[in-house]
Copies of this chain bind each other. A is one copy, B any other.
Amino acid sequence: MLNFDFQNKTKIIFGKDTENRVGQELKIYGKKVLLHFGGGSIKKYGLYDKVLHSLQEAGIVVVELGGVEPNPKLSLVNKGIEICKSENIDSILAVGGGSVIDSAKAIGVGAKYDGDVWDFCLGKAEVKDTLPVGVILTIPAAGSESSSGSVITKEEGLYKKAFGSPLIRPKFAILNPEITFTLPKYQTAAGIVDMMAHIMERYFTNEQNVDLTDRLCEGTLKAIIDNASTVLETPDDYDARAEIMWASTIAHNDLLSTGRMGDWASHNIEHELSGIYDMTHGAGLAIIFPAWMKYVYKHDLSRFIQFATRVWDVPMSFDDPQWTALEGINRMESFFKSLGMPTTLKDAGITEDRYEEMAKKATEFGPQGNFIKLEKDDIVNIYKLAK
């Protein structure tokens, strides 16, 4: 087990009607908030009115900035930063999914920085300060509600890049599973793949003797898998929605990475898909992850056998252990299909003539992954396995 520091201060406020507590939680951080959100869906289902009511009751002045798109754009971040500076904003409230929260995080650090916020994505600047960010989560997927990361897309050149710091973990995250009842099936499914991917990126490590975190990863995956069909078939099943929602946070709050180095190649390879084609991140991961696994599983067959037997209940074949490992990958791929996710690049309309370009871009700043370091040609091969 590797040495590690672990601290996650985000206050999780979980359950029915918890959005009504947002004013009380936010007023600790000042009187003026930037309310950040995406499209109009928060207005459609009454959430917007509840939030405004709670903020007004707490005496908080609201400045609004909506319009966050999936794969949140740098231009809107820059607009948010300008507003925060000119309006002397005290805090940011992100009401939405990972894109809104990531956008809010970038605005938060940008508002306290004199240079270009893209510097953080390029590793040219380190986060030293941020406006406090609070969250009301509407899409369980990205885990951004208590994570230390943010991913932003720069329109010019279509670059999708991440930055991170413990300082950007939200101060609080309100998680009411009822808010997710109206989430479309496709987004629910993509969210499930995304949270599973966050766990698997951590699970596939070269670090040996990490039993406890292995078990926690496997248990969280199991809980997600067991509740997935229920949330798709019965979208207003509170209990199943609650399991999925809490799992999305656990998957990415860094507990599951303690003592180990994660991989993250699949995420970075996928960024080219969602960055260029603007596809849902989870859908892209459903395509990339099985292919990545097929490409790398021989590097640590035991780990893939453990994954197959413990997570997918594949029987151990002592005669043919490789079969066990591959059957685990197959079952995962079938599961993604059963959720209605694409599992090939063709499904997503991405043709072979783009592979080279995407792989080149994915490795522009160096090889990807830690489990195995992947060069450009490896990534082309993975795209071919995902054909």
A residues bordering B, Cβ < 8 Å? 1-16, 18, 208-209, 211-212, 214-216, 218-220, 222-223, 226-227, 238-240, 242-243, 246-247, 250, 255, 258-259
Contacts and interface: CB of A to CB of B under 8 A. Distances in A.
13 contacts: A1-B238, A3-B14, A3-B18, A4-B14, A5-B11, A7-B9, A7-B11, A9-B9, A12-B258, A15-B259, A211-B223, A212-B243, A219-B219
B9 A5 contact: no
Contacts of A16: 3
Contact of A243 (B18, B209, B219): B209
Nearest to A221: B215
B212 A1 contact: no
Given A6-B14, A12-B7, A211 B243 contact: yes
Closest 5 CB pairs of A and B: A3-B15, A215-B219, A209-B239, A219-B219, A212-B223
Contacts of A223: 211-212, 214-215
A343 B247 CA distance: 37
Nearest to A226: B211
A225 to B, nearest CB: 10
Copies in the complex: 2
B12 A6 contact: yes
Contacts of A215: 218-220, 222-223
B9 A14 contact: no
A26 to B, nearest CB: 15
A144 B12 CA distance: 21
A224 to B, nearest CB: 8
B209 A220 contact: no
A220 B213 CA distance: 8
A14 B258 contact: yes
Nearest to A176: B3
A246 B219 CA distance: 17
Nearest to A223: B212
A9 B169 CA distance: 12
A181 B119 CA distance: 46
A304 to B, nearest CB: 19
Contacts of A259: 14-15, 242, 246
A211 B334 CA distance: 23
A17 B246 CA distance: 34
Contacts of A227: 211
A222 B214 CA distance: 11
Nearest to A224: B212
Contacts of A219: 212, 215-216, 218-219
Nearest to A244: B212
Contacts of A15: 1-4, 259
Contacts of A240: 209
A93 B346 CA distance: 60
Nearest to A255: B255
A282 B139 CA distance: 42
A243 B7 contact: no
A2 to B, nearest CB: 7
A220 B208 CA distance: 17
Contacts of A226: 211
